[in-house]
Structure 1
Amino acid sequence: MSQQKVGSRAPSKTSVTSDKNVIDEDESTKPEFIYGGPFIKVEKPSPFINTSTPINLPLQGTFKKSFAYYSLRDRLPVILTKVIDYLSREGSKIRSAHNASDDDIRGLIQYVTKLKNDLVTNKKYDLFTVDTPEAKRWNHWIESCDSQHYFTNTWVFTECYVYRRLREGCELSKGLKNFDPFDEQKLKAFQNSLEPMCVVADKLVTMLPPSDKDKRKADFTTLLKICLWANKCDLSLSMGEQVSLKSADGKARSASVASLSILDPFKMVLDLKDKVLVDDSSKICDQVIAKTEAMAKAIAAEADPAAKSEAKLEVKSEAAPEAEGEVTEEPPKIPCPAKMVLPEVVTFDIVCDNSGYELFSDLCFAHFLISQEIVKKVRFHVKKIPWFVSDVTPVDFKKTLEMCANANYSREVPQEAPPESGEGGGATDPPPPLTVSADNLRQLGSQWMQFFEDGTFVVMCDEFWTSPIMYKEMKTQAFQLYRKLQLTAAILFKGDLNYRKLLAERNCPPTLSFEQALQGFNPAPIIALRTVKADLICGLPKGKFEQLNKIDEKWMEKGDYGQVYFKKRVLIDKRRQQSDPIRIPVIQYGGKVEPLKSSDRPCPDYGEECRGVICPAHPTDIVT
């Protein structure tokens, strides 16, 4: 009988296959190890540490008191389980909608089941097998990682990897290549938000006509905060469960209360104003309007020489007319965007987050910018594939416009009678009921569809947004996208994932300014707006966290407080000790901008000059 070497480990029951061959499996990949069960002694030190994320380190599942660990252990597996349940429960409907087979459904279920098992057991990443340039780039990123395991790599990389693998499962299927595992959840989220959409639509139509400077500023900041609170509607945070806006007291309405009241997002903004810890939204308005006005003047001045040049050409053509029958008028030309130092028109960019009510709020803000002639064009950057459950895709964007244009909603809400006045006063008749309807929502939806058709609203879906690359690396890794973003008045980044990538997934020091946290990413003025759902942040006033923590140690988990920061001031937090999601509303502004110069790296698809307004190589990307 052979004697086991000193220091070696005995094989556990779970280490033996059916043919009795022992597998040298890493103990740290087993569920009982990750979930804190009975620990098995191993030779190498454990990669898991029972602490929150230390300052200046990246967020990852290694730290067992971090939100990253909680997310990988609990949230993502539940999301994948719901995909499996959806395929099992609605298999017949999915087959019919996509002309798929039973084998397609079974194959995708098996694929997602393996993905979930690999995640919860901290296996090594599998390489992608689909034969596309984007998949090959993913394989390069995986092979370049210091750690290729789910929990011990950067949290944002693992999350992006899981959703990209979920997409690969569809790509490998014959009949489910266009299947969105989250379409049912996103549709329900839209339908459940119809009432607040109707309320906002009724108010928005009064904001659209040209107004004086003070009213325009007030409406600008109000709509920005409507967008802020809409970011609560994140289905990835709720693990796919439907999310409703809360009332002013922070509590969800019961059925009886809901029947006697209207959920008014504008009233929420007013009621929750004291919960915004730092509010620089008015400065954001001033700076964006100043920027757009300066750009408009520069564009007008730039157009004058072109007009003179055209006049000279006309004189020349009159002196030497072309032969009869020949076309003398040349098609319009615009320079390659890589060579441009000014856009053709003043543009505003929104890097979207969630579909449903949040996308609706973004559309409202964009419509306001257009109607007040602050900008001429708004570009919406969306995800190319289904992403983080509820993120906007091109299909979601178009569906939202159509559903708004065809919305059907009406509800009468009775109002309470005022109290009796004085002695002898008889009973007072109650006022007429309030009516909430979709009339104005349909009107807005139709206008948005027209904006989409004529290029006032532009949808762009660069693959960069579904990559694990941090935004500080955009200039070197996605130069053409970076260059396009330089030709805008400002960029509004929505939601938590964008915020994490802006801060490079680093638990930066609490006193670090927003501009410092961006680490050189400054293609244009940046507005970051989110309700905080991850334990990284920058810029709270010194001592504010400690003050609020004395009042309620869980204040960061309830979404009762917000911040609106401008320029040099930014948001901060201390490391929370709980694994529940944080929901602090944040609006931050970074005004530092890299000078826009004519590039020596033109896009090969554009060439030296573009003819017409739309690039023939990128029909969805309006270059102006």
Structure 2
Amino acid sequence: MPAYDWPIDTENLPVMRIVTPRNVVMCGIFGKSFAYYSLRERMPVILTKVIDYLSREGNKIKTKHGATDEDVRSLIQYINKLKNDLITNKKYDPLTVDTPEARNWNKWIEETDSQCYFLNTWVFTECYVYRRLREGCELTNGLQNFDPFDEQKERSFQNSLEPMCVVAEKLTTMLQNGDKDKRKADFVTLLKICLWANKCDLSLSMGEQVSLKSDVLNNDANKTTTPCMGTIDPFQMILDLKDKVLVDESSKIYDRVIAKAEVMAKAISAEPEVQSVSSEKGSPTASPPVEEETKEGEELPKIPCPSKMTTPDAVMFDIVCDNAGYELFSDLCLAHFLIAQEIVQKVRFHVKKIPWFVSDVTPNDFKYVIESCRTADYKKEMALEIQPEAPEGEAPENARSVLNADTLRQLGEAWTKFLEDGTFVVMCDDFWTSPHVYKDMKKYDPNLYRKLQFAVAVLFKGDLNYRKLLGERNCNPTLGFEAALQGFMPAPLIALRTVKADLICGLPKGKFEQLNKFDEKWMEKGDYGVIQFCPKSEALKPSDRPCAEYGAECRGVVCAQH
């Protein structure tokens, strides 16, 4: 693994110049680990750029949010202290905002064995820093809705219009009915579009804009940044990077998703008919409103309580999102395909409630991407690679074509309607911005765990989700994906991730050592990817807990009212 050259302050920080040992959680105390580098170098740069943004665009930010000079000043001071506490390995400060979620955070801080930035688990510290950044906004009068990364995310979207137009044009042929082989091939292609879109990570680049050009194929081991979206064809990219997919279970994923969806559809159709509608919160069912006037002797509608249901009311596929911009666009394309091909009836998108890890999707980002697709304006004249021969007696055609946003706008319109009619559902549970790894989800958020159980499969996107799936543990790289999950199996799980942190599972024997010899920093740059699958899932049984949407008292198998 890489031996970093930056100075280590051994006086204030007991850093060991070793990589993270096997089967030990990632932590900043290991001086040759990516965790140490991230805490020492990447995160302070990210915080500095937020301060620079507030200083540079203060007037614009104040106008947009109705904030004052004092709001901006106090937020800058807050972030400066946070950055200083981080780089000097201070003890965590408790959150001071008084909300149930903040009180939970303070409880988790008290319960953790190590309450210092570099001494605690890497994922806990990272999540804590982003939660504190959010608190800095909450403590002001005028910046409570301020997203410190909005400018970077919007610029990233605009820089990705060209590949989005390319993918949009191709997607239209995939949405049409075709034979089974074509449908499977299209699914696999879209899954890989989603995989390589995960290279567009503004956290990895510390907020710097990235562009995907032909030099993405450059195997220079000395390169420290990964280019992302530009002039390259995303479909050609799949072919060019075929050997960079270290584990590819996409064919198995398609077969299992189709089989599970068909079984689920039959189970739903066999259920007794009940009056139910999908709730905005994404729960399997919610009761319709009870009429204010009910005729004497008339029974209220009997609605199955979600905590007692063992079959959902629709065939659902879940996506636990990572980055906004082009990556979210690719997720929407996959979701649209699943709906158009009638594989599932609903897709639920799990996003972050607050700005997170620079470019993670929030509800506002979700709306922004769809609206920006719906109103996109892009046009580019492109040279064809091969000039067609003109028939005899005719002048040769100009070997150029025009790429525009017409199809992209049509997709934006369709996705807007999907949101309105509930085909697409956006969910943002607090757990996704907690410091907990996923094997502990049932302990800290059993209601979310149960919601996931209603999905035909759950797709986890990106590196942070992957780290949490593996429990932030540096397991043996040949350990199987199922074993690495440590019992977290609410539904069949798919992991799509370009490798940007030094932990991984499921590799063939000897592959890890082979890649290390070629490039010691291969795990940090997003040049390689995995598509992994665990088909097993915990059986969905009636819960012994009341449904969160139905109050503290469980009313049994059927609920007369909320």
Q: TM-score, normalised by structure 2?
A: 0.88
In the TM superposition, 1:398-477 aligns within 5 A as 398-415=367-384, 418=387, 429=396, 431-477=398-444
1:36 equivalenced with 2:8 (yes/no): yes
The Cα shift of 1:109 comes to 0.4
Q: For 1:369 and 1:417, locate their aligned partners in 2 and report how far apart those are by CA, in whole Å.
A: 34
SS in 1 for 2:142: coil
Q: Which residue of 2 aligns with 1:302?
A: 271
Q: For 1:420 and 1:494, locate their aligned partners in 2 and report how far apart those are by CA, in whole Å.
A: 45
The verdict on how the C-alpha distance between 1:114 and 1:521 changes in structure 2, with shifts beyond 3 A counting, is: same
1:591 equivalenced with 2:560 (yes/no): no
SS in 2 for 1:62: coil
Q: For 1:155 and 1:548, locate their aligned partners in 2 and report how far apart those are by CA, in whole Å.
A: 24
Q: For 2:427 and 2:436, locate their aligned partners in 1 and report how far apart those are by CA, in whole Å.
A: 18
Q: Which residue of 2 aligns with 1:79?
A: 46
The Cα shift of 1:301 comes to 1.3
Q: For 2:299 and 2:496, locate their aligned partners in 1 and report how far apart those are by CA, in whole Å.
A: 45
Q: Which residue of 1 aligns with 2:25?
A: 58
The one-letter code sitting in structure 2 at the alignment partner of 1:282 is: S
The verdict on how the C-alpha distance between 1:327 and 1:246 changes in structure 2, with shifts beyond 3 A counting, is: farther
Q: For 2:127 and 2:80, locate their aligned partners in 1 and report how far apart those are by CA, in whole Å.
A: 17
Contact 2:380 2:404 in 1 (8 A): yes
SS in 1 for 2:272: helix
Contact 1:195 1:263 in 2 (8 A): no
Q: For 2:469 and 2:492, locate their aligned partners in 1 and report how far apart those are by CA, in whole Å.
A: 13
Q: Which residue of 2 aligns with 1:576?
A: none
The one-letter code sitting in structure 2 at the alignment partner of 1:553 is: D
Per-residue CA deviation, residues 387-413 of structure 1 (Å, 9 max, x unaligned), is 000000001101111101000001011
Q: Among the aligned pairs, what percent are the same residue?
A: 67
In the TM superposition, 1:135-146 aligns within 5 A as 135-146=102-113
Q: Which residue of 2 aligns with 1:179?
A: 146
The one-letter code sitting in structure 2 at the alignment partner of 1:402 is: E
The one-letter code sitting in structure 2 at the alignment partner of 1:35 is: P
Q: Which residue of 1 aligns with 2:174?
A: 207
Contact 1:494 1:528 in 2 (8 A): yes
Q: Which residue of 1 aligns with 2:210?
A: 243
Q: For 1:299 and 1:153, locate their aligned partners in 2 and report how far apart those are by CA, in whole Å.
A: 46
Contact 2:317 2:457 in 1 (8 A): yes
Unaligned 5+ segments in structure 1 are 1-33, 253-257, 308-324, 558-579, 617-624
The one-letter code sitting in structure 1 at the alignment partner of 2:60 is: K
Q: For 2:184 and 2:79, locate their aligned partners in 1 and report how far apart those are by CA, in whole Å.
A: 48
Q: For 2:321 and 2:42, locate their aligned partners in 1 and report how far apart those are by CA, in whole Å.
A: 22
Q: Which residue of 2 aligns with 1:311?
A: none
1:536 equivalenced with 2:503 (yes/no): yes
Q: Which residue of 2 aligns with 1:197?
A: 164
* Higher mean C-alpha deviation, range 373-382 or range 145-154: 145-154
Q: CA RMSD in A?
A: 2.7
The one-letter code sitting in structure 2 at the alignment partner of 1:366 is: A
Per-residue CA deviation, residues 117-141 of structure 1 (Å, 9 max, x unaligned), is 1111111111110011111111111
The Cα shift of 1:262 comes to 4.4
The verdict on how the C-alpha distance between 1:89 and 1:434 changes in structure 2, with shifts beyond 3 A counting, is: same
Q: Which residue of 2 aligns with 1:356?
A: 325
Q: TM-score, normalised by structure 1?
A: 0.80
The one-letter code sitting in structure 1 at the alignment partner of 2:494 is: I
* Higher mean C-alpha deviation, range 537-546 or range 269-278: 269-278
Q: For 1:549 and 1:138, locate their aligned partners in 2 and report how far apart those are by CA, in whole Å.
A: 38
* Higher mean C-alpha deviation, range 288-297 or range 596-605: 596-605
Contact 2:20 2:33 in 1 (8 A): yes
Q: Which residue of 1 aligns with 2:522?
A: 556
SS in 2 for 1:374: coil
Contact 2:447 2:548 in 1 (8 A): no
The verdict on how the C-alpha distance between 1:404 and 1:419 changes in structure 2, with shifts beyond 3 A counting, is: closer
Q: Which residue of 2 aligns with 1:290?
A: 259
Contact 1:67 1:581 in 2 (8 A): no
1:605 equivalenced with 2:549 (yes/no): yes
Unaligned 5+ segments in structure 2 are 1-5, 220-226, 276-293
Q: Which residue of 1 aligns with 2:304?
A: 335
The one-letter code sitting in structure 2 at the alignment partner of 1:96 is: T
* Higher mean C-alpha deviation, range 237-246 or range 127-136: 237-246
Q: For 1:390 and 1:218, locate their aligned partners in 2 and report how far apart those are by CA, in whole Å.
A: 30
The Cα shift of 1:330 comes to 6.7
The one-letter code sitting in structure 2 at the alignment partner of 1:203 is: K
Q: For 2:351 and 2:27, locate their aligned partners in 1 and report how far apart those are by CA, in whole Å.
A: 26
Contact 2:310 2:540 in 1 (8 A): yes
Q: For 2:329 and 2:66, locate their aligned partners in 1 and report how far apart those are by CA, in whole Å.
A: 31
Contact 1:417 1:430 in 2 (8 A): no
Per-residue CA deviation, residues 37-85 of structure 1 (Å, 9 max, x unaligned), is 6x65x9xxx6210010000111011000000000001100000000000
The Cα shift of 1:333 comes to 4.4
1:486 equivalenced with 2:430 (yes/no): no
The one-letter code sitting in structure 1 at the alignment partner of 2:197 is: A
The verdict on how the C-alpha distance between 1:446 and 1:183 changes in structure 2, with shifts beyond 3 A counting, is: same
The Cα shift of 1:276 comes to 2.1
The one-letter code sitting in structure 1 at the alignment partner of 2:112 is: C
SS in 2 for 1:489: strand
Q: Which residue of 2 aligns with 1:560?
A: none
Work out the number of aligned pairs and report it: 526
Larger Rg over CA atoms: 1
The verdict on how the C-alpha distance between 1:123 and 1:345 changes in structure 2, with shifts beyond 3 A counting, is: same
The Cα shift of 1:145 comes to 1.4
Question: Runs of 4+ in structure 1 displaced over 6 angstroms?
Answer: 327-331, 609-612
1:375 equivalenced with 2:344 (yes/no): yes
Q: For 1:434 and 1:262, locate their aligned partners in 2 and report how far apart those are by CA, in whole Å.
A: 15
The verdict on how the C-alpha distance between 1:356 and 1:330 changes in structure 2, with shifts beyond 3 A counting, is: farther
SS in 2 for 1:303: coil
In the TM superposition, 1:161-180 aligns within 5 A as 161-180=128-147
The one-letter code sitting in structure 2 at the alignment partner of 1:513 is: G
Q: Which residue of 1 aligns with 2:121?
A: 154
Q: For 2:250 and 2:121, locate their aligned partners in 1 and report how far apart those are by CA, in whole Å.
A: 32
Contact 1:416 1:430 in 2 (8 A): no
Contact 2:477 2:512 in 1 (8 A): no
